[in-house]
Structure 1
Amino acid sequence: MILQRNIKLVTEQHNIPKPSPMADFPMKEWSVKIYLLDQAGNEHPANCFTKVTYNLHPSFEDKTHQTFTEPPFTCANEGWGEFEMSIDLFTTEKGGKNTIFHDLNFQSPEYEVVQPITFKNPSQALLSVLRETGPIPNEDDSKAAAKARKANDLKKKKAVCDFEKMADGLGKLNEDDLLHVIQMIHDHKADETYTKNDIDAGEFTVDLFTLPDHLAKMIWDFLVDVKVV
């Protein structure tokens, strides 16, 4: 699966009263923040990323590579020069790294840039985060297919026997025959078969639609033999 989302980079900058090594270029304090956008363009915390590394100009020396692990992954620094930086965005996926490029400039006090990000074969955990900002491809189709399969399974079960008549027939059984049916259910039920045995109340409950086909057929044949359906 390939999934795409947009991120927004918000850059803010202003002059600070510090001496600059370049006379015509005042010192600046600047910052870059990263947000995840939904389809309407609304900002959300970019918690689809586990960490973000900003690769700055070599003049930052030992601070050239700066990593942050909490949204909005704010990178704040001081300097006088404009430059293009690369930004590495990491997820928990194997090979889950996206690299983008961002132009740091001082033409306005604040500016925003939107960039697309592609996620390849995201895990269920990552999908749950990305689902908050937009649809997941083919998810609706998968749900529809699952619903269709469930309806088809129900149709097949109804073809095995008439569950309304079965329920009515079970209510007509004498105590010995009813205990025989309960034992059949215990011996042949599937993992998904729902049963509840309230010993104190002397009640046994079963969801007939959760019976496996072979068990439903066995019970139906037994009800036919004892002539209650």
Structure 2
Amino acid sequence: MEGFPMRAWSIEIYLVNEHGEEVPANIFDKAQYRLHPSFEKRALQTIKQPPFRIQEKGWGEFDMQITLTAKHKGGDNTLDHDLNFQKERYEAVHTVTFRNPKPDLLALLRESGPAGDENGIKGKPASKKNKKEKTVDMEKLADSLQRLSEDDLLQVVQMVHDHKTQETYIKNDVENGEFHVDLYTLPDALIKMLWEFATEKAGGLQ
């Protein structure tokens, strides 16, 4: 491109511990980079090993999306990153929050600093989770919801939207046609409604 020099650029992803030091981002299974459409067949790239290094070249600056998939079913987190050439090297710090991570993921998180109990996350949310587990088998509920038909799933999404609270964690990925919800953040009444709905559609959950 006349007047615009070609530049080689790369991105790596690390965690930052409580001392501000970079440590391997081993809590993630993969990183998916969504680049500018002009990269054509390379516009969507998935890297599966830390530090999830992507290396490219081009003349233009652009905003990209980086989707990090956590290990142990920790879900996806999408970050917006501004690729620019103002400095030879620069860092962008993002905060990623995990709600009710499974024990294996929590152990990995603790390798980079305090997590879970140390930050006071345990307490009311934990006891609330245990209460729900006694009345509803959350694993069975999650499995049954994934087996519903598309029409039934639309009803589930509507129910969640209608009865969610401020604590409810949802993510609506319209572009990929996906809807994410953390069942443990739903109010008890909604959990019961979803259980009854799934039971009716599945002919009974055992």
On the 8 A contact 2:74/2:102 being kept in 1, the answer is no
> In structure 1, how many angstroms separate the alpha carbons of the residues matched to 2:39 and 2:78?
20
In the other structure, the counterpart of 2:38 is: 59
Give me the whole-angstrom Cα distance separating, in 2, the residues matched to 1:80 and 1:28: 6
Q: Which residue of 2 aligns with 1:125?
A: 104
| 1:70-149 → structure 2 map (5 Å cutoff) | 70-94=49-73, 96-139=75-118
Q: Are residues 121 and 62 of structure 1, via their aligned partners in 2, closer, same or farther at CA, if it must alter by over 3 Å?
A: same
Deviation, 1:61, is 0.5
Distance in 2 (alpha carbons) for counterparts of 1:81 and 1:92: 33
Higher RCO, Cα 8 Å, sep 6+: 1
Counterparts in 2 of 1:167-186, with a 5 A limit?
none
- Once the two structures are superposed, residues 49-75 of structure 1 have per-residue CA deviations (whole angstroms, 9 ceiling, x without a partner) of 000000000000011100001110001
Equivalent residue for 1:165?
A: none
> What letter is aligned with 1:134?
G
Q: Output the amino acid matched with 2:32.
A: T
Task: Map residues 18-29 of structure 1 onto 2, 5 A cutoff.
Answer: 22-29=1-8
Indicate the percent of aligned positions where both proteins have the same amino acid. Answer: 52
Distance 1:75 1:128 in 2: 27
Q: Which amino acid aligns with 2:88?
A: P
Instruction: From the superposition, tell whether residues 118 and 140 of structure 1 become closer, same or farther in structure 2 (CA, over 3 Å).
Output: closer
2:25 and 2:50 in contact (8 A); partners too: yes
Q: Distance in 1 between matches of 2:41 and 2:121?
A: 50
User: Structure 2: which 5+ runs fail to align?
Assistant: 123-206
Cα distance in 1 between the residues matched to 2:27 and 2:73: 14
Between Structure 1 and Structure 2, how many residues are aligned? 122
Q: Is the 8 A contact 2:34 2:66 kept in 1?
A: yes
Backbone CA RMSD of aligned residues: 2.0
More strand by share: 1
Larger-gyration structure (1/2): 1
Query: Which of these residues, 32, 57, 77, is aligned with residue 11 of structure 2?
Result: 32
Question: Which residue number in structure 2 is paired with residue 154 of structure 1?
Answer: none
- In 2, Cα distance between the equivalents of 1:77 and 1:54? 11
Question: Aligned to 1:114, what secondary structure does the other structure show?
Answer: coil
In 1, are the aligned partners of 2:74 and 2:98 still within 8 Å (CA)?
no
- How far apart in 1 are the matches of 2:47 and 2:54? 8
Offset at residue 137 of structure 1 (A): 3.0
Equivalent-residue separation in structure 2 for 1:44 and 1:24 (angstroms): 39
After superposition, give the CA deviation of every residue in 1:89-135 in whole Å (9 maximum; x if it has no partner).
00134460000000000111111111111112111111111101111
| Counterpart in the other structure of 2:28 | 49
Matched residue of 2:18: which SS?
coil
Q: TM-score, normalised by structure 2?
A: 0.56
Kept in 1, the 8 Å contact 2:32–2:44? The answer is yes
Q: How far apart, in 2, do the equivalents of 1:140 and 1:118 lie?
A: 13
